[in-house]
Structures are given as structure tokens and as C-alpha cells.
Amino acid sequence: MSAVSTGELLMKLWRGDASGGDFVEYRLPAQEGEVVLDVVHRIQATEAPDLAVRWNCKAGKCGSCSAEINGQPRLMCMTRMSTLPIDEPITISPMRTFPVIRDLVTDVSYNYEVAKLIPSFTPGPRPAEGYRMFQVDVERGQEFRKCIECFLCQNVCHVIRDHEENKAHYAGPRFLARLAELEMHPLDTLDRRAYIAERMGLGYCNITKCCTEVCPEGIHITDNAIIPLKERVVDQRYDPVAWLGRKIRGRPRPMTPADVEPYTGAAAKAARAGQAEAS
Amino acid sequence: MSVVEGTARPAPIPVEIGRARGGPPRSKVLRRDLWWLQPLAIALGLAAFVGYGVWTAFRGDYYFAGAHAHYLSPFYSPCFVRSCPTDVVWGPAGSIGSVSPALLVLIFPMGFRVTCYYYRKTYYRSFWASPPACAVADAGSTKPGGARSRYSGETRFPLILQNIHRYFWYVAVLFAGILTWDAIDAFRFGPNGWGLGLGTIFFVVNAGLIWAYTLGCHACRHLCGGGLKRFSQAPVRFAIWRKVVSPLNAHHQLFAWLSLFWIAWTDFYVYLVSSGAIHDPRLF
Ligand code: SF4
Ligand code: SF4
Ligand code: FES
Ligand code: FES
């Protein structure tokens, strides 16, 4: 390990593409009040003009600058240098779960493919007096709307991070939170539970909570989204008491194939029209 | 697409699997903090409790301080075998033979904790190393084709059985009631006297912690109100969800450990008193 002198930063940035690469060392003077992204930008402005890094807002709101800082999935723009042990080298590497395009930039398109498979918000017929919602009913879903789609949770989740083949049948924490938001929506009428259990792969999550630990928006993904979804699935398939209750009281409309057409489908368009009307 | 009501095998998510990812090798841990410390400490904590539990369950003796006060060890409650002291025996005494009473009842609280969402996290991390810590690779996952290269989570037998947690919760409520009864009983000294000993306080704390753990359960949170789509139509359930269960649930981890430790402590205290090793101070 190389020595770092006082007032100096030793940054080790991953340089390379999908075919390979290595950590490259950059030494530069430490400056007061910087975040990691500032330092990366200084490297880009001086020694490495060809360094690829994705960013937009520098305010923790666009979700572009996700990376792994000393092995921890973080937003580069929200990680202060003063919180890191700068008397040692600092490593910055791209998110591990997604293929590297170049340097710190990864191809996160897996997430967009999952997003297309989320059955849209589906309100019932519009009542004569219009839709009415109470704050207590929408509050829970609002927590999930804070999501900035940085995909740090998707990146840290071992289900797909360590087991590539599971990308074919696991939606990942960000999208389970999205599904929870829809399932908890007071005006939604769709029963997505079987779909969540099977196609979205809810059972793969073993509630080890890394998604919650890394979420820069502090969303309680595991406790407030995933576990409530697991309990809803238990209601549907593993609890005869709940089953009896449903027989007596009726139930929401089960999903049909049309509900899961990607956003380009006719059903999705109609659902979106309903959504616009409801909001 | 053919997924309706979960009958057909679901179509895969259309992504290219196995594309080269690039980046640092996955087997390399880049975290530089003491990420192994927490899983290790938790493993030791759980192992210590299991070790203690085995010792106490097979001991089959010194679980009731009857000569002094009605302190019945929480490991042995409810007591319904032939050897149970007549003061505390439940049900038709003598119907079940002379096995240690603890072995009959422990299966329920044990099943409750083993399927608890929080404990699942702890042992998946500490014993399965799946994952050992965040951003640290699952054990065995970096060896392609190895026994642990694939992962199915809680989708298959036996781990799919975790879904019965709710049933253990129903039973756990009964047990919390029984331990509450034991706490009340711990105010009884001698054949017909009432009083307060140091042990009584331990029993009351024990019952309190058990309730805090049981009511903070995620299954309870779902059943009491979390499963509703519209809180506005069920104000009472909403109030329970919001004011009682959710705050307890937020500290579920804390109560999981406190109640675990305290059960062992209460049992050990009963052991000390009933074996005559110490004298339980009577406060009044
Ligand atoms: S809690 Fe579940 S979704 Fe979140 S990181 Fe862990 S396994 Fe993935
Ligand atoms: S849930 Fe949190 S970690 Fe996941 S994408 Fe959204 S903001 Fe990022
Ligand atoms: S640059 Fe927008 S979140 Fe960091
Ligand atoms: S007891 Fe922990 S989640 Fe139910």
C-alpha cells in the first residue's frame, strides 16, 4: 500500500471497460469541504481528461453518480471526503452488479427492463364525485416516491450481485418498493400478488437489508416494502384464515396478461390515461 | 406472457444473462472497515444463547423456586408433565411422562424466533454468509459451478417454510399471555402470601420485553393494519398500526436481543435461587 503524505489525497480509480481494467492511482492536494465527486472532477480536469463518470445534479437528487467508495455503494456527490480515512488510499470503483461501459460508468439497462414489467396503476371506474384520497392512505406510498433511482439498492442486493442468473427472474429492491407502492395505493384495484411472488421473484429476497443500508434517500425498503409484500403473499397463498376472509368479503381483481404488457401496450396506455385522470 | 394467478412458469425478465461485467474481481473485498465484526458478534451471541438454552432445557431441575416464591423459569412455562411442581402444573398433570418440561414447550418460541424476519437476517448473514455483510460476496458465489454458486433464497423448500411465521406468531401471543401470568404469579410467596422480591421485578421485565418483541413482529404489523389499502376506513386498526405496532416494529431488533437475553437471565436467576446458590432479597 502506497504511503499518503499529509495534505495529499491518494485516489485509486477503476479504469477500464467490460473486457478488463485496473485501479489507477492519482495523487492530488487535499482541499477543504469536498465531496468525492469534486475530487473525481479535479482528476478529470487535470490528469485524466478521458475519465468516464456519470453525474448530473451534484445534490443527491438525480441518482447518476452511484459508485463504490472503499467498497461501499454510495453516491459520490453525497460522500464528504472528511468522512473517509484520507490518510489511506481511497478506492472508487463502478457498481459491481452491472456491466461496465467505461471506467465508473455502468450499463444499468437491466433496471429499465424490470421497470417495463411493472403492471401500471389501475384505478377503478371514476366515481361521480371524482376520486378522493386521504393523507393517511397515501402516506405510506409517498415514502417510496422519494426514490431517485440511483440503483444502489439494486447494485448491493446479493440476489443479483452475486448470482447473475437471477437477473432473469428477480425484480430487485427498488422495484419491489415500486410494487409495494402500487399495492398500497388506495385507488388501485389490481391484485398483483401472484405476479410479485412469481415473475418478480419476491421469495429470492432473504431480508438481509443491505438495500435499506445503502439507500441514500433513507427508504426503509425491507421493512416497509418487501416484508409487507411478503405478508400479502402469505395472505394469498399460505394462510387459510385470510383465504376464508377473502371468500366472505370479496377481493380485488386478479391480474390478467394485459396488465403486464410493457408500457407500449394498449392496456398500459389506457391505465396511464386513468392515472393522469386520478392525479 | 402467460402469468395469471401464478399457474404458468413465469417468463424470464428479458435481459442478457452472463454479459462480462468488468470492474474489480468479485471475489475481492474492497470494504476496508471491520465488516466481519458484526456477523461474528451476532454468531457468538446466538451460539451462546443456544448453548445456554440446551443446558437449561436438559437440566430438568431447579426451574421453580417454589419453596421461596412462585418463580417459574420462562424456559419451563407452561409446565405440564408429571414431574411439574403441583403449584404451577397446567392441564391434566401426569398425562405426559417424565421428559424435561422445557423440551415440550420450547419448540413454539423457538419456531417463532427461527422464522422471525429479524433473526432470519442474522443467521443468513452470520451462519450462511449470504451475504456475510453488504457488498461482500455470498460465500461460495465466486466459484462458478460450485455447490453454492446458485441461490434460490426463500423460494424453495425448506426455506419457503419461513412463510408460516404468522402461525408461530398466533402461538407466541398465547405464550406472551402465559409469561404475563407467570409474572403475576411471581408476586406470590409461600402458600398464601403476596410480596415483592428482586426476582419478581425480573419476571415483570421479562413479560414486558416479550410483549414488546411479540407485538413488534412484522406479521403482527401486517395483521393489525398494515395489510389494509385504506387506513381511512379503519381508524382503530390504523391507530394500532401507527401508534403501537409500528414504533415497536422499528425497534424489533433491539427487543429481539433484549428479550432473548432477559429470558436466559430470568431462567438463570431462578436456577440460582432454587438451587440455593443465592438468596432472593425480598423487598416487601
Ligand atoms: S433485503 Fe432483500 S432486496 Fe434488500 S438487499 Fe437484501 S436480499 Fe436484496
Ligand atoms: S430505493 Fe433508494 S437505493 Fe434504491 S434506487 Fe431508490 S433511492 Fe436508490
Ligand atoms: S450527481 Fe445527482 S445524485 Fe450525485
Ligand atoms: S417475531 Fe420478528 S418478525 Fe415476527
- Do A96 and A226 share a structural domain? no
Return d(Cα A244, Cα B210) in angstroms, integer: 30
State the complex-level ipTM: 0.93
Task: Identify which ligand lies nearest to the alpha carbon of A111.
Answer: 2
- Do A134 and A257 share a structural domain? yes
The preferred substitution site among A98, A108, A148, A178 for testing ligand 2, maximizing ligand atoms within 8 Å of CB, is A148
Return d(Cα A181, Cα B258) in angstroms, integer: 33
- Do A151 and A93 share a structural domain? no
Q: Which of B32, B149, B151 is the closest to A70 by Cβ? A: B32
Q: Is residue B1, in this structure, part of any structural domain at all?
A: no
The mean pLDDT of chain A is 90
Q: CA of A266: how far to CAs of A187, A199, A258, A261, in Å?
A: 21, 21, 8, 8
The count of domains in chain A is 2
Q: Is residue B19, in this structure, part of any structural domain at all?
A: no
For residues A225 and A180, the answer to whether their CB atoms sit within 8 Å is: yes
Q: What is the largest CA-CA distance in chain A?
A: 73
- Do A95 and A220 share a structural domain? no
Closest residue (by CA) to atom 2 of ligand 1? Answer: A205
Q: Is residue B103, in this structure, part of any structural domain at all?
A: yes
Contacts 24+ apart (CB under 8 A), A183-187: A183/A229, A183/A232, A183/B229, A184/A140, A184/A141, A184/A228, A184/B229, A185/A121, A185/A138, A185/A141, A185/B229, A186/A133, A186/A134, A186/A137, A186/A138, A186/B229, A186/B230, A186/B232, A187/A121, A187/A123, A187/A124, A187/A131, A187/A133, A187/A278
Q: Is residue B79, in this structure, part of any structural domain at all?
A: yes
CATH of the domain at A63: 3.10.20.30
Q: Which of B23, B134, B153 is the closest to A205 by Cβ? A: B153
Q: Is residue B162, in this structure, part of any structural domain at all?
A: yes
Task: Count A/B contacts: CB-CB distance under 8 Å.
Answer: 218
Return d(Cα B64, Cα B77) in angstroms, integer: 10
- Do A128 and A84 share a structural domain? no
- Residue at a domain's end among A51, A78, A105: A105
B3: confidence class by pLDDT, cuts 50, 70, 90: very low
Q: Is residue B147, in this structure, part of any structural domain at all?
A: yes
- The three grid cell numbers given for residue A197, joined into one nine-digit string: 411472488
Prediction pTM value: 0.92
- Do A160 and A22 share a structural domain? no
Judged by CB atoms closer than 8 Å, whether chains meet at A100 and B11 is answered as no
Q: Is the model more confident about B257 or about B78?
A: B257
- Do A132 and A81 share a structural domain? no
| Binding pocket residue ranges, ligand 3, CB within 6 Å | A 55-58, 60-65, 75, 77
**Angle subtended by helix axes B165-185 and B107-114, to nearest 10:** 130
- Residue at a domain's end among A76, A105, A134: A105
- CA quadruple A223, A144, B138, A67: dihedral, nearest 10: -140
Give the residue from chain A lying closest to B13, CA to CA: A168
The preferred substitution site among A152, A178, A213 for testing ligand 2, maximizing ligand atoms within 8 Å of CB, is A152
Judged by CB atoms closer than 8 Å, whether chains meet at A204 and B231 is answered as no
Q: Which of A68, A163, A228 is the closest to B30 by Cβ? A: A68
Return d(Cα B246, Cα A102) in angstroms, integer: 44
For residues A43 and A26, the answer to whether their CB atoms sit within 8 Å is: yes
Give residue B83's pLDDT.
77
- Do A256 and A161 share a structural domain? yes
Judged by CB atoms closer than 8 Å, whether chains meet at A231 and B226 is answered as yes
Let me know if A187 is exposed, middle or buried by CB neighbors in 10 A (0-12, 13-18, 19+). buried
Residue with cell 411493472: A118
Q: Is residue B26, in this structure, part of any structural domain at all?
A: no
Q: Does B34 touch chain A (CB under 8 A)?
A: no
pLDDT digits (tens, 9 = 90+) for B63-101: 998 888 899 999 998 887 777 887 777 766 556 666 777
| pLDDT of B238 above 90 | yes
Q: Which domain holds residue B225?
A: 37-274
- Residue at a domain's end among A105, A140, A175: A105
- Do A159 and A81 share a structural domain? no
Return d(Cα A224, Cα A15) in angstroms, integer: 38
Chain B environment of A163 (Cβ under 8 Å): 138, 141, 149-151
CATH of the domain at A211: 1.10.1060.10
Return d(Cα A273, Cα A256) in angstroms, integer: 19
- Do A142 and A83 share a structural domain? no
The count of domains in chain B is 1
Q: Does B17 touch chain A (CB under 8 A)?
A: yes
Ligand 4 atom at shortest distance from the alpha carbon of B113: 1
Give residue A244's pLDDT.
75
- Do A132 and A88 share a structural domain? no
Per-residue pLDDT of chain A (279 residues; tens, 9 = 90+): 566 777 899 999 999 999 999 999 999 999 999 999 999 999 999 999 999 999 999 999 999 999 999 999 999 999 999 999 999 999 999 999 999 999 999 999 999 999 999 999 999 889 898 888 899 999 999 999 999 999 999 999 999 999 999 999 999 999 999 999 999 999 999 999 999 998 999 999 999 999 999 999 999 999 999 999 999 999 988 887 777 777 776 666 667 666 665 444 555 455 556 655 554
Q: Which domain holds residue A161?
A: 109-278
pLDDT digits (tens, 9 = 90+) for B149-207: 889 999 999 999 999 999 999 999 999 999 999 999 999 987 778 899 999 999 999 99
- Do A79 and A23 share a structural domain? yes
